[in-house]
A and B are shown apart, each in its own frame.
Chain A
Amino acid sequence: MSADERIPQQAAGADPVRVYVSQLAAALDGSDPALRHDALVDAEVHLRAAIEAGTPAERAIAAYGTPAEVAHAYRESSGGGVIVSEGASPRPRPLPPGAPPDAGARYGLAAIPVIGVWAQSAAWGALLYFGGIGLALALFYFSFAVSFGTLAIGLMPTVLGLPLLVLLLASVRGLSLFEGKVVEFFLRVRMPRRAQPVAGLAQVGFWKRIGCWLRDVRSWMSLGYLVGNLPVSIVFFTVTFTLFCVSLSLLATPVFYLLGLPMFRNPGDSDFEIQLFGTLLSGPDGDGTLSGLAVVPLFILGLALMTGTLWVARGFGWVYGRVVQAIQVARPQ
């Protein structure tokens, strides 16, 4: 039996659950951070429940399995490696838990360098998320947290203040978990399936429970994340939406040309024209239409800009997804 297969031995006085969890964390080193987080929360919640039910810590840990065995089980499940008969999978899984992000990006059209981004679901998901959904959600989270927080602080001199603050902290933890699911869906970055429990909530007594909530660093982190997310989302939205609109308008030039519709307007100036290196790009009558000569290069420019926009969105998604994941898996306690 190798060192990492043994049930952890703890120093006298050390919390055996914490020792086990730290050994499990070491055994899962290098795994997806969200998968590792789930494994650690599962172990901690299970072992604490077993000990509270009267099982001696050593027996509970032995029944749970060695860190190596448990780590192996999580790794197996992360890639969909557990064998299931065909009948057991009634529908395809949209994203296997712990699958590398953009797993589909390695095959077919998506594998083509540079332009393959057009076939990558993660890029379109990021465009959709940063182009509107992310900002709408960020606005809602911010408004909710600020208005609820202000109300709780305003009522602090009364008996309602503290319970309202606890309710806010519980709500933002739920919202933060929900935001993780949204980010996972659009940006294809795995998020934890479980929230870390609030330490000591098993203590009886209303005021003691309130104290546990107020000391819970994770809840305050969630509140900070939901408030701080708004300015970040505004920046991402501005860049993504501007690039997308410009790309789309350039891609639409052939349609405008064929329908004879004006691409631009300059009211009151019938002599208005656009020239590029001496070549007239605007139509001959100053009516805002484009000449046939301008349509092809502008369309090609639109294709290039849209490809760049998809790469920018995908890059934002990669960075933002990992930041959200890091916040969700942080274990400050």
Chain B
Amino acid sequence: MPMPPDLPNKIERDLSVGTAWLVVLATIAGADEPIHGYEIGRRLADEAPEGLSFKQGTLYPMLRTMEADGLIRSTLVPSNEGPARKCFTLTPDGKRVLGSWVATWRNTNRWVNKVLGEIDVRR
């Protein structure tokens, strides 16, 4: 049975779903003041490693779902350069959830690295 042509991209696809929420929440948490969507997208794109890209167009529906779920809250901040911008901060629930996700990520990261450290794919 031939391998499905998009199978090599599976891990990137699966990882991106979970990690996108984590990094977006972390970016909002790391900002000194309420941060708007464009700035979140710019920071994530700037910090993306070689070969990985964060599609900024996927950010806005994610922010809207996070807000509906009570993880973040938004305020409208007037801008001199155009319409008022929607800026985001974490809610107390958002902080609690981010804390638990960070712990999960670190544990997963340690575990995956441990497993990967023992294999040699060229063998």
List the one stretch of A9-17, A194-202, A232-240, A243-251 in contact with chain B: A194-202
List the one stretch of A86-94, A109-117, A255-263, A297-305 in contact with chain B: A86-94
What is the total number of residues of chain A having a CB less than 8 Å from a CB of chain B? Answer: 40
> Which of A43, A69, A93 contacts B69 (CB under 8 A)?
A93
List the one stretch of A71-79, A125-133, A154-162, A264-272 in contact with chain B: A71-79
Is B34 among interface residues, defined by CB-CB distance under 8 A? no
Best-buried of A42, A74, A93 by chain B (most CB within 10 Å): A42
Q: Is the interface of B mostly helix, strand, loop or mixed?
A: helix
Is B65 among interface residues, defined by CB-CB distance under 8 A? yes
The reply to whether B38 and A73 form a contact with Cβ atoms under 8 Å apart is: no
Is A323 among interface residues, defined by CB-CB distance under 8 A? no
Is B30 among interface residues, defined by CB-CB distance under 8 A? no
- The answer to whether A201 and B100 touch (CB under 8 A), given A46-B38, A63-B55, A88-B69, is no
* Contact residues in B for A83 (Cβ distance below 8 Å): 17-18
- The answer to whether A70 and B71 touch (CB under 8 A), given A49-B38, A90-B93, A193-B64, is no
> Which of A46, A90, A202 contacts B81 (CB under 8 A)?
A202
Q: Chain B's nearest CB lies how many Å from the CB of A119?
A: 25
The reply to whether A77 and B64 form a contact with Cβ atoms under 8 Å apart is: yes
Binding site for A on B (CB under 8 A): 17-18, 21, 37-38, 41-42, 45, 53, 55-58, 60-62, 64-65, 68-71, 81-83, 86, 93, 96-97, 100-101
Besides A38-B64, A88-B101, 6 more A-B contacts (Cβ < 8 Å) are A38-B61, A42-B37, A88-B71, A88-B97, A97-B68, A195-B83
